[in-house]
C-alpha cells in the first residue's frame, strides 16, 4: 500500500485570514526574530509570524521597544523570511519609522516587502494613524493595526498599563477599531484590554482581531515566543502562559557542558575526528624535532 502524501500547506494570505474569521476558525500568531524559530513555528502550522519590535526587549535587551531601528527590524525580518514558507509574515514598523510623515511611513513600509521578504506590516495607533494606514494600503502594502496597550506609547501611558478600562476609554477603542478597518487594515491586534471590550470589537468588525491579554473572545491569539518558551525571565505579564522553561533548560545545559569540559568527559571519542595511522606516521616523520624544553609556538 502506498503512503498517502502529506498535502502541501498553502501560503497564508490576508484574504485567507479573513476567510478563517468568516468560517469561525481561530487565527494563531507568534513572534519570531531568527531563522531557526521561524522554521519551527512554520512547521507547527501557525498562521501568522510577527517579527515584532518586542525584538528590542526580548532579544536586544532594551527596557522598551523605543530604541529599535529600521535596520534592526529588516535584519531580523530577513532571517525569519528564510525560515518560514507558509505563514503570513508581518514586519513591525519601529518607533519613528511611520510617525514623522506619511511619505516616510510609506517608504519604510515598502522596505519591509522589498528588502526583507515580509508580506505585510503592522503599526501601532488608533484614529490618529488612519491617514497613514490609508496611504500605505494605497501603495499596495497590507497593514495590521494595533490598539490598546501600544508599547511604543509606554511613556504616554506611564508604564505598560492595561487600556480601555473605563466606559469612555473602551468606547474610544471600539470606534478606533472601526476606523482602522475603514482605513484598510486587514486585521487588528488588541493588546491588554478587558475581555468584554475585545469581544465587542471582534463582533462589530469584519476583519480578524488578534488578542494578546485581551481574552478568548478575539478571532485569534498572539504571544511573544520568548515569553511562551520561558526564555525571557526579566518579567512575565499576567496574560502570558509559559509552555516551556527554556531559560532554566539553557542554564542546566550550560552548567553540564562546563562540568564535562572541566572533567575531560567532553569531547568523547564519538565527538572526535581521527586520522589514518599511515598518514599520522608520515606526518610525524616529516616534522622537525622539538628542541628540549622549548614549545613549537616559541
Ligand atoms: O512587538 C510585538 O511582539 C507585538 C506583539 C506583542 C503583538 O507587537
Per residue in 11-53, pLDDT tens? Answer: 999 999 999 999 999 999 999 999 999 999 999 999 999 999 9
Which pLDDT score, from 0 to 100, does residue 293 have? Answer: 56
pLDDT band at residue 294 using 50, 70 and 90 as cut-offs = low
Note whether 14 and 120 are within 8 A (CB).
yes
Pick the catalytic residue: 22, 25, 104, 191?
191
Question: 224 or 9: whose pLDDT is higher?
Answer: 224
Which pLDDT score, from 0 to 100, does residue 236 have? Answer: 81
Q: What is this structure's pTM?
A: 0.93
Classified as helix, coil or strand, 48 is strand
Chain segment 134-150, per-residue pLDDT in tens: 999 999 999 999 999 99
Q: What's the whole-number mean pLDDT along residues 209-226?
A: 98
Q: What's the whole-number mean pLDDT along residues 209-215?
A: 98
Pocket probe mutation, ligand 1, options 27, 64, 92, max atoms within 8 Å of Cβ: 92
Which pLDDT score, from 0 to 100, does residue 5 have? Answer: 52
Chain segment 44-64, per-residue pLDDT in tens: 999 999 999 999 999 999 999
Which pLDDT score, from 0 to 100, does residue 8 have? Answer: 80
Q: What's the whole-number mean pLDDT along residues 274-284?
A: 97
Q: How far is the CA of 52 from the centre of ligand 1 (A)?
A: 5
Which pLDDT score, from 0 to 100, does residue 113 have? Answer: 98
pLDDT > 90 in the chain, percent? 91
Pocket probe mutation, ligand 1, options 52, 121, 123, 214, max atoms within 8 Å of Cβ: 52
Q: How many CA atoms lie within 13 A of 9 on its CB side?
A: 14
Chain segment 65-100, per-residue pLDDT in tens: 999 999 999 999 999 999 999 999 999 999 999 999
In angstroms, the CA 177 to CA 189 distance is 10
Q: How far is the CA of 267 from the centre of ligand 1 (A)?
A: 41
Question: 93 or 296: whose pLDDT is higher?
Answer: 93
CA nearest ligand 1 atom 4, residue: 52
118 burial (CB, 10 Å; 0-12 / 13-18 / 19+) is: buried
* Per-residue pLDDT at 297 exceeds 50: no
Going along the chain from its start, the domains and CATH numbers come out as 14-245 (3.20.20.60), 250-293 (no CATH)
Q: Taking all residues of the chain, what is their mean pLDDT, rounded to a whole number? A: 95
* Per-residue pLDDT at 262 exceeds 90: yes
191 is catalytic: yes
- Ligand 1 site residues, Cβ closer than 6 angstroms: 31, 50, 52-54, 92, 146, 189, 191, 212, 222, 224
* Per-residue pLDDT at 3 exceeds 50: no
Which atom of ligand 1 sits closest to the CA of residue 124?
8
Which pLDDT score, from 0 to 100, does residue 4 have? Answer: 54
In angstroms, the CA 265 to CA 279 distance is 27
pLDDT > 70 in the chain, percent? 95
Nearest one of 144, 153, 218 to 181, comparing CA atoms: 144
Nearest one of 106, 139, 130 to 180, comparing CA atoms: 130
* Per-residue pLDDT at 1 exceeds 80: no
Q: What's the whole-number mean pLDDT along residues 253-274?
A: 97
Which pLDDT score, from 0 to 100, does residue 68 have? Answer: 98
Which pLDDT score, from 0 to 100, does residue 238 have? Answer: 87
Of all helices (H) and strands (E), which one includes residue 12? none
Amino acid at each position: 500500500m502506498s503512503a498517502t502524501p502529506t498535502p502541501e500547506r498553502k501560503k497564508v494570505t490576508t484574504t485567507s485570514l479573513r476567510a478563517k474569521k468568516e468560517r469561525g476558525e481561530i487565527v494563531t500568531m507568534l513572534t519570531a526574530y531568527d531563522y531557526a524559530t521561524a522554521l519551527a513555528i512554520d512547521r507547527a502550522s501557525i498562521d501568522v509570524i510577527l517579527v515584532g519590535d518586542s525584538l528590542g526587549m526580548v532579544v536586544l535587551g532594551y527596557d522598551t521597544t523605543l530604541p529599535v531601528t529600521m535596520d534592526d527590524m529588516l535584519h531580523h525580518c530577513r532571517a525569519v523570511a528564510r525560515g518560514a514558507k507558509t505563514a503570513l509574515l508581518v514586519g513591525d514598523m519601529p518607533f519613528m519609522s511611520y510617525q514623522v510623515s506619511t511619505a516616510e511611513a510609506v517608504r519604510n513600509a515598502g522596505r519591509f516587502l522589498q528588502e526583507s521578504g515580509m508580506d505585510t506590516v503592522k503599526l501601532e495607533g488608533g484614529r490618529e494613524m488612519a491617514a497613514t494606514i490609508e496611504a500605505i494600503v494605497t501603495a499596495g502594502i497590507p497593514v495590521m493595526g494595533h490598539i490598546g496597550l501600544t508599547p511604543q506609547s509606554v511613556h504616554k501611558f506611564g508604564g505598560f498599563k492595561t487600556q480601555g478600562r473605563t466606559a469612555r476609554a473602551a468606547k474610544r477603542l471600539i470606534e478606533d477599531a472601526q476606523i482602522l478597518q475603514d482605513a484598510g487594515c486587514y486585521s487588528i491586534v488588541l493588546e491588554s484590554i478587558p475581555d468584554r471590550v475585545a469581544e465587542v470589537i471582534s463582533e462589530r468588525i469584519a476583519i480578524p482581531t488578534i488578542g494578546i491579554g485581551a481574552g478568548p473572545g478575539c478571532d485569534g491569539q498572539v504571544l511573544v515566543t520568548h515569553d511562551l518558551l520561558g526564555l525571557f525571565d526579566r518579567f512575565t505579564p499576567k496574560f502570558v502562559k509559559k509552555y516551556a522553561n527554556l531559560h532554566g533548560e539553557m542554564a542546566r545545559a550550560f552548567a553540564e557542558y562546563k562540568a564535562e569540559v572541566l572533567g575531560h568527559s567532553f569531547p568523547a571519542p564519538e565527538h572526535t575526528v581521527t586520522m589514518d595511522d599511515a598518514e599520522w606516521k608520515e606526518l610525524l616523520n616529516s616534522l622537525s624535532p622539538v628542541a628540549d624544553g622549548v614549545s613549537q609556538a616559541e
